[in-house]
Chain A
Amino acid sequence: MIMKTDEQDSNPSFVLRAIKDVAFEDRDVPKLRDEHDVRVHIAQTGICGSDVHYWQRGRIGDFILNSPIVLGHESSGTVVEVGSAVKNVKVGQRVAVEPGVPCRFCDYCRSGQYNLCNDTIFAATPPWDGTLSKYYVVASDYTYPIPDHMNMEEGALVEPVAVAVQITKVADLRANQTVVVFGCGPIGVLCQAVAKAYGASRVIGVDVVQSRLDFASSFGADDVFLPPKPESGVDPIEHAETVAALLKEKFNLGEGPDIVLECTGAEPCIQAGVFVTKKGGTYVQAGMGKEVVAFPITTACIRALNIKGSIRYTTGCYPAAVDLVASGKIDVKRLITNRFKFEEAEQAFELVKAGKQDVFKVVIEGVQ
């Protein structure tokens, strides 16, 4: 064990050791792995539902927590060390960090779908360490300089904006289209804002929590909708059809919106989403809930819907996200409701887990 002196740096980290078992650990300052790497002094980290899920359940699909991992993946920071081949950033530069670096060799990587790479090193997806440490090492082309007028909190929020950009890219959103977004959590409202920024003529946000609808109205949505609860004994599928019909009628959507973005993962929303999409329209599944649901597949077929999944981000999403924030088109600061110091990380996680309505985006400051 190395005796630490004042001059000797270390890497305090917030570690998920096992399900529901987090702790602070002092780790070694990470080294650059090759000449393309940079080391970032992490400034701010947002918390995502996936972080909470690994903490509470220890798995998402095939990703299973088998050994301790540092948590966190939505971060910004300052570059403090660069490899000899690094050209896009310099020491001292403030950056948004893209937390998933693919292998670059497989067919997915080579065909422009690096979000599908099986060998991606993704921060805080087991077995890879996340960004809730003092320092994080990453390939330089996965760091994106942010302009001086963007603060580090905004830099950390670039990650969920990039998720929203990818969702609209998958949806092939064009200007003047109509969009219904199920879910007014962070991803839902960011999808609404990105859709507006990209020229959608009408964006409607759907949620069951009025305060979230109120926020969505003030953020990116043109209109919001609170679906009625199903009456007792009514078949859920019938209710979903009713909700879809109400949506179309209330907002004059004619045969339905061009695009539906499903950002809840909730089965009733998935069903209503399929029913409301216009013929030939596009439905994108972004939210994650139950792994298997009752899906109106005949409707999808008869109406020739394009149904796609969206996961993480691909080329161009991060630069687009930085630009959306830097240009003021999306004011991500408004999403932050709670701030914590690094030492309070566990409280931050507890707050997100509690799922209170007035908690939206929680950020954790880096180690000073």
Chain B
Amino acid sequence: MGQENLSFVLEKTGVVKFEDRPVPKLASDYDVLVNVKFTGICGSDVHYWQHGAIGSFIVKAPMVLGHESSGIITAVGDKVSTVKVGDRVAMEPGIPCRRCIRCKDGKYNLCVDMRFAATPPIDGTLAKYYTLPEDFCYKLPESVSLEEGALMEPLAVGVHITRQANIQPGQSVVVFGSGPVGLLCCAVAKAYGANKIVAVDINKERLDFAKSYAATDIVVSQRESAADSAARIIKDCDLGHGADVAIDASGAEPCIQAGIHVLRTGGTYVQAGMGKSDITFPIGAMGAKELNVKGSFRYSSGDYRTSVDLVTSGRVSVKELISNKVKFLDAETAFNDVKAAKGIKVLIEGVEDSA
């Protein structure tokens, strides 16, 4: 197999393969070329693999997978000034247009012309090389490994959610879902000074991990009404009149409902998880309790840099989330593991240089 730019490609629903592709060219003087070293797998990657679509994003042609990456810069455009060849970087995989109203208003995650790695039709980062503009590469200090660098993407998601939730020191937060995003939300909430961080999940093993990681309390979901579930969480975790903040990182309808019920009046609810597109929603409670209900999507200005800062300073630790590392050629195994919900975060190593 040629070794110019070996890539892990989703050929069509359910079918992945390795393919050698040309090394990408720098599209502008502000672009850099990155030799990808580690890539984490996200539920969305698995979903495209299994279902070929998320919402209106449909895989119509073969597409390279992966978007949670770190790497080493191997070439820079003529006008690049903030990074140099040899720099170890976390890679922010979504490039906005920079010209639309959302971009200029500081919300580039909402850009109408966003080009996001491994969201069709844009190729992802599971290749030997990837190009990015310099301002979407974040230099990692020596103390932060490239493996941790690959965790910056989900951490930035957690940072964005936490900022949407506007968590203040001393507040209480209930996080539904103890997958990587839920866990990272707990960690960021803790770093932001939340006093009480309750992790809720159906999986006791994940909850035990959450407790050892960042949560102050854990609650196992049971078969009960959402209102009862919320009441139980409030009682068991001493949440007084209710939590200040509820974050859903599960996408599961019962969690979303419980999230609304677990809040105090005037509390804030943030929807991060993606499950069913339409659900039964406790809108009466939302209105009567005057809740702030917000969505959270990917990350925008400042989130990646905050993530690097949080890990560098030790306020958030991500090493514990890495369950396994596999070689690039074993990428499909890693995808199968994630699909089977094995471990927390599986990393795929970069393409090895041929001997």
Task: List the interface of chain A (C-beta within 8 A of B).
Answer: 36, 104-107, 109-114, 139, 141, 314-316
Contact = CB atoms under 8 A, between A and B. Distances in A.
A106 B135 contact: yes
A119 to B, nearest CB: 11
A107 B133 contact: no
A316 B30 contact: no
Interface in B128-160: 133-135
> Main SS of the interface on chain B?
loop
Interface in B101-146: 101, 103-108, 133-135
B106 A316 contact: no
A112 B300 CA distance: 11
30 contacts: A104-B99, A104-B103, A105-B98, A105-B133, A105-B134, A105-B135, A106-B135, A107-B301, A107-B302, A107-B305, A109-B98, A110-B103, A110-B108, A110-B135, A110-B300, A110-B301, A111-B301, A111-B302, A112-B105, A112-B301, A114-B104, A139-B99, A141-B99, A141-B104, A314-B105, A315-B104, A315-B105, A315-B106, A316-B101, A316-B105
A110 B301 CA distance: 6
B30 A105 contact: yes
Interface string B22-41: 00000000100000000000
A109 B100 CA distance: 12
Nearest to A319: B101
A112 B104 contact: yes
A121 to B, nearest CB: 15
B30 to A, nearest CB: 7
A3 B105 CA distance: 47
A315 B101 contact: yes
Contact of B107 (A106, A112, A314, A316): A112
Contact of A36 (B30, B99, B106): B99
Nearest to B82: A105
B177 to A, nearest CB: 29
Contacts of A36: 99
A100 B257 CA distance: 47
Contacts of B99: 36, 104, 139, 141
A111 B98 contact: no
A106 B135 CA distance: 7
B267 to A, nearest CB: 24
B106 A111 contact: yes
A314 B106 CA distance: 10
Contacts of B104: 109, 112, 114, 141, 314-315
Contacts of A109: 98, 104
A141 to B, nearest CB: 5
Contacts of B134: 105
A105 B137 CA distance: 12
A104 B111 CA distance: 13
Contacts of B108: 110
Given A104-B99, A107-B302, A112 B106 contact: yes
A105 to B, nearest CB: 5
B98 A104 contact: yes
Contacts of A113: 106
A113 B302 CA distance: 13
Question: Which one of B30, B98, B101, B133 has the greatest number of beta carbons of chain A within 10 Å?
Answer: B98
| Most A C-beta atoms less than 10 A away, residue of B99, B104, B108, B300 | B104
Nearest to B305: A107
A104 B133 CA distance: 12
Contacts of B300: 110
Interface string B288-303: 0000000000001110
Contacts of B135: 105-106, 110
Contacts of B100: 141
Contacts of A314: 104-105
A153 B305 CA distance: 45
A220 to B, nearest CB: 27
A261 B301 CA distance: 30
Nearest to A36: B99
A112 B106 CA distance: 4
B225 to A, nearest CB: 41
A366 to B, nearest CB: 26
Nearest to B30: A105
B163 to A, nearest CB: 12
Contacts of B105: 112, 314-316
Contacts of A139: 99
B145 to A, nearest CB: 25
A113 B135 CA distance: 16
Contacts of A110: 103, 106, 108, 135, 300-301
A314 B107 CA distance: 13
A104 B102 CA distance: 12
Contacts of A114: 104
Interface string B191-207: 00000000000000000
A112 B108 CA distance: 9
A314 B104 CA distance: 8
Contacts of B133: 105
Most central of B103, B106, B107, B134 by chain A CB within 10 Å: B106
Nearest to B104: A315
